[in-house]
Structure formats: structure tokens, C-alpha cells
Amino acid sequence: MKAAVWYGKKDIRIEEVPDKPIKGNEVKVKVAWAGICGSDLHEYQEGPVFIPTDANDPLTDEKAPLTMGHEFSGIVHEVGAKVTTAQVGDRVTVNPTLTYGDKREELDPYDGFSFIGLHGDGGFTTYANVPEDNVYQLPETLTLQDGALTEPTAVAVEAVKKADMQFGDKVAVFGAGPIGLLTAVAARAAGATDIIVLDLSDARLEKAKQLGATHVINSGEMDPIKTIGQIAPEGVDVAFEVAGVAPTFKQAIEVTKGLGKMMIVSIFAQPIEWNPIQLTNTGVNVDSTIAYTPTTFKQTVDLMGSGQLKLEGIITDHIQLENIVENGFEALTNDKSQAKILVELTGDSE
């Protein structure tokens, strides 16, 4: 079967890989659709970031070269001997997070985690082997394309949950890439009133409006602090930092109300220069989130299934595996109007 295999920075190859036998606790998913994630892009542009290259990953026992892709859906094609819940033919989405599982779920990822499709073979291929616990049935209301969106959406749902955002709160979202857009969607679904999205790209801000932002601010054209000050004179209740750079880190604290919450959702690639007295002066609490709990993943599937999380418009292109580098990784690098690009594997054929 064909797969998109990461060999190194700027070196992703479409090549033939073996269809590996499943283990007793695994199911084999015939992949329908798989999204390209920002972390996939980082691996392409400047990797390895997460991908193990020297030693095998402790949870997957694999290392590069490996098949990428961790946002995917499909049909259960085969089940392992010990599998009790999944059945052949099930329409499923995959939670790609692997942990040691010996802490309570909120704490578990901080004890070490790996991702199917980053630390081990993933979904940019025809068949992917996944532990039974990592597949979730798709409700009838969701398509297989929707199923490829659950993973990044779960990141946004976790961020809103962990921020203790309250019904009626005002929020600001710094960064309108896919996770920023999904955070705005999640905040709206959780009942935020003012949802202010900031970015440097008008194309992305237009998308943010379509997805439910009540205000958009181009930070290159308008002063974020002053503009938010007009919308929320006391400051926003929660600011989500989804850009991962020093200016937005500081702005996100600055626009938050006294004793409010600044939630880091992004992955900072570089250190920043910053004076912690900004917290002392404002009382703002800084928290962060990474991935999601299994509970949040299930809630995300349910909230998408019930129509409360409305993602229409987030998918900006459908591409074929053969063209994943040019139409996927390069398109995401060069075209800011792209949000989520889905790779068609077996598509909606079943």
C-alpha cells in the first residue's frame, strides 16, 4: 500500500509500505480521510520535532522513517483477537494519543505520551493499526470527512474546558490557524458572547468570521490592546494564545481582565523575552493545554454529532496522497487562506 513517509526535514516520500499484521488489542482501520496538522507541517518544515530518529519511541517501538498522519477516520477492516467493542465495518475516528495510562486521565499526558502518526506509523496510507481504545464510533450524523476533524477539534475543546470558560464570557483568540479557528468554534459552542479573533491574515480572519467570531482584528493594521479595550473595557475573561510567539504571548496577558485566564494552546518553538511582573501587575493566571483527555475526545465527537460544534468551512481543500507534498505541505506553507486540508485515502467509497 502507498503511504506518505517522513524521512527528514523537507523529505516526505510517497512509497510502498507493508500492511503490518495487527496485535490482539488492535483494530485495522481502512483510512478514509486524513487531515494535515500544524505539527505535521513543523515536521516537514523544520523536523524532527517529535518524530523519533535515533532510538525507537518507548510507546510505539518505532522510529523514522515512518508513515505520518494523526487526524484520520475510516472503516474498521479487521479486529484483533482480544478486541471486544469494535466490529468490522464500524465507521470510526481515531484518537491518536498513546500514554502509559497509569495516572488519572488529566495528568496522564504529562507522564509521557506519543502520537500515532508522529511517534509511530499513522494514517496517510490505506490501512492503519490502532489500539481498540483509540477508536471512537462516529455517530450517524457525522461523515467520514467530519471524522477526520475530531482530533484538532478535541484540542480546542480541551483548551476551552481547561480555561474554565464560563457561559457568557468574553474571549480573545490570538491566531486564526486551524486550531485558533476551532478554538473560536469551541468557545462559541460553550456559550462565549464576544469572540474576538486576531491574526495578521485577512483571509484567515474572514474564515474566523464564517466560523462564528463576533469580532476580528488584523493585528498588523489595528492595535490589538486598544481595539479589544473598546470591545471589552474590563478585559476579556479568557485569552487563548494560539500563535506561539512573544508579541501574542504578551498581548494575550495584556487584554485579559484582572484575575482572568491566559491559556497557551500553541507550541512555542523559541524562547521569548518577557518580564513575569506582567502577571504581578495584572493578576492574570497563565495555564496551558496539550492534546486532550479521552473524555474530551468523546465529548468532541458527541458535540460534533449533535451539531453544537459547527465546522462548516474549516476544510479548504481535498487532495490526493500522491500530491501531499505540493498540494498539502507546500500549500499550507505558502497560502494563508488554507485552513484544514484533507487527504483522500479510500475516501467515502464504503
Q: Which C-beta is closer to a second copy: that of 48 or that of 80? A: 48
Query: Which amino acid would we find at residue 289?
Result: T
The single residue among 141, 274, 306, 348 that binds a second copy, judged by CB under 8 A, is 274
Closer to a second copy by Cβ: residue 36 or 264: 264
Considering beta carbons, is residue 111 or 326 the nearer one to a second copy?
Answer: 111
Q: Select 267 or 325, whichever has its Cβ closest to a second copy.
A: 267
Q: How far apart are CA 164 and CA 241, in angstroms?
A: 15
Which residue from 272, 295, 335, 337 is in contact with a second copy, where contact means CB under 8 A? 272
103 binding a second copy? (CB under 8 A): yes
Residues 6+ apart with CB under 8 A from 48: 8, 9, 64
In the stretch 224-263, what mask flags binding to a second copy with x, by CB under 8 A? -------------------------x--------xx----
Please report how close the Cβ of residue 263 comes to a second copy at its closest, in angstroms.
Answer: 10
Q: What are phi and psi of 36, to 5 degrees?
A: -95, 125
172 CB neighbour count, 10 Å cutoff: 30
Q: What are the DSSP calls for 6-23, one per residue?
A: EEETTEEEEEE---PPPP
- Give how many residues touch a second copy by CB under 8 A: 31
Binding segment toward a second copy, per CB under 8 A, in 17-25, 82-90, 102-110, 114-122? 102-110
Least distance from C-beta 68 to a second copy, angstroms?
A: 21
**Rounded to the nearest 10 degrees, what angle do helices 178-189 and 202-210 cross at?**
30
Segment 39-78, which members bind a second copy (CB under 8 A)?
A: none
Write out the binding residues for a second copy, residues 289-318 only, by CB under 8 A: 289-290
Residue the block writes with cell 522510529 = 63
DSSP string for 143-188: -HHHHTTHHHHHHHHHHHHHTT--TT--EEEE--SHHHHHHHHHHH
Task: Determine, following the binding rule CB under 8 A, whether residue 270 of this chain makes contact with a second copy.
Answer: yes
Q: Site for a second copy (CB under 8 A): which residue of 110, 168, 306, 349? A: 110
| Rounded Cα–Cα distance for residues 288 and 212 (Å) | 23
CB 118 within 8 A of CB 68: yes
Write out the residues near a second copy by the rule CB under 8 A: 103, 106-107, 109-111, 249, 258-259, 264, 267-268, 270-277, 279-283, 285-290
